[in-house]
């Protein structure tokens, strides 16, 4: 009854289902791996929120970006802000509001520069070509506490708005070359922003849609074989009907007299 499954057309059909199922299963496994990565990140965020700040020199270096296990850790540094080389980072959203990050170099007492996001500021109501109102960083020696973030990739696309230089990405390597100072290869976000700026919220601790996506891909893989079985069963039932019980094929007579000669 099912010997037709060994015909080349059906073997090719089955091989296509298997190939697609392998692709779907691997996509599901990839989503589960993304879920594991999210769990690891959430664990780091929770641990960092409860940990005491560490000296920045114990966490960051000037020759390589921070490792995954160092991200979101709280660090502290003592030094002076370099207000002359302050940047604004464009197109950043906080609580669904568009604005800019205020990125200020911080000369630490150990002789290295740390890039510090002091906070977020709303864009100027006068438009993108106008500089927002940004409070000056404190003068003199201060101690800052912030969470470690990884440097961003891509071109900085630097422009100027008022007295500020604006960048699109916090590409630490590029900015370090402009500053021409030994610079830590990560940056930090202040835990508490100064008056006039909004603190950057902690990253959300949530699993995201990865588990749902994984289940969907596994279901798609299973549905391939369900569809194959339904199609094969219908084909088998059709082959099982005797010829004298099959519905006759009715053809319309040719109405052209020339073709009836």
Count of domains forming the chain: 1
Whether 182 is in a domain gets the answer: yes
DSSP-based helix, strand, coil % in the chain, nearest 5: 40, 25, 35
Whether 46 is in a domain gets the answer: no
User: By residue range, what is the domain housing residue 185?
Assistant: 56-190
Q: CB–CB of 198/94 below 8 Å?
A: yes
Whether 113 is in a domain gets the answer: yes
Whether 102 is in a domain gets the answer: yes
DSSP code of 85? G
Residue 247 has a pLDDT of 53
Q: CB–CB of 128/137 below 8 Å?
A: no
- Segments in the chain below pLDDT 50: 243, 245-246, 261
pTM of the model: 0.71
Residue 240 has a pLDDT of 66
Whether 32 is in a domain gets the answer: no
Residue 124 has a pLDDT of 82
Whether 209 is in a domain gets the answer: no
Residue 243 has a pLDDT of 45
Whether 18 is in a domain gets the answer: no
Residue 136 has a pLDDT of 93
């Amino acid at each position: 009854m099912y010997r037709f499954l060994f015909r080349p057309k059906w073997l090719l059909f089955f091989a296509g289902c298997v190939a697609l199922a392998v692709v779907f299963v691997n996509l599901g496994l990839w989503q589960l791996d993304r879920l594991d990565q999210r769990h690891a990140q959430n664990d780091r965020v929770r641990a960092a929120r409860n940990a005491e700040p560490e000296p920045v020199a114990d966490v960051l270096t000037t020759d390589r970006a921070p490792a995954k296990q160092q991200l979101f850790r709280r660090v502290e540094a003592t030094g002076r802000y370099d207000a002359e080389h302050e940047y604004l980072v464009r197109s950043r959203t906080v609580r669904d509001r568009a604005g800019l990050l205020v990125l200020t170099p911080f000369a630490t007492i150990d002789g290295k520069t740390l890039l510090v996001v002091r906070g977020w500021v709303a864009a100027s109501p006068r438009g993108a070509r106008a500089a927002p109102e940004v409070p000056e960083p404190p003068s003199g020696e201060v101690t800052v506490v912030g969470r470690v973030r990884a440097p961003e990739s891509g071109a900085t696309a630097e422009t100027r708005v008022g007295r500020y230089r604006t960048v699109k990405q916090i590409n630490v390597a590029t900015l370090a070359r402009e500053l021409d100072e030994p610079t830590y290869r990560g940056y930090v976000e202040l835990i508490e922003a100064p008056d006039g700026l909004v603190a950057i919220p902690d990253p959300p601790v949530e699993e995201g849609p990865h588990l749902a996506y994984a289940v969907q891909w596994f279901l798609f893989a299973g549905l391939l074989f369900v569809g194959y079985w339904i199609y094969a069963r219908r084909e088998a039932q059709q082959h099982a009907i005797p010829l004298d019980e099959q519905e006759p094929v009715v053809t319309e007579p040719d109405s052209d007299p020339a073709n009836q000669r």
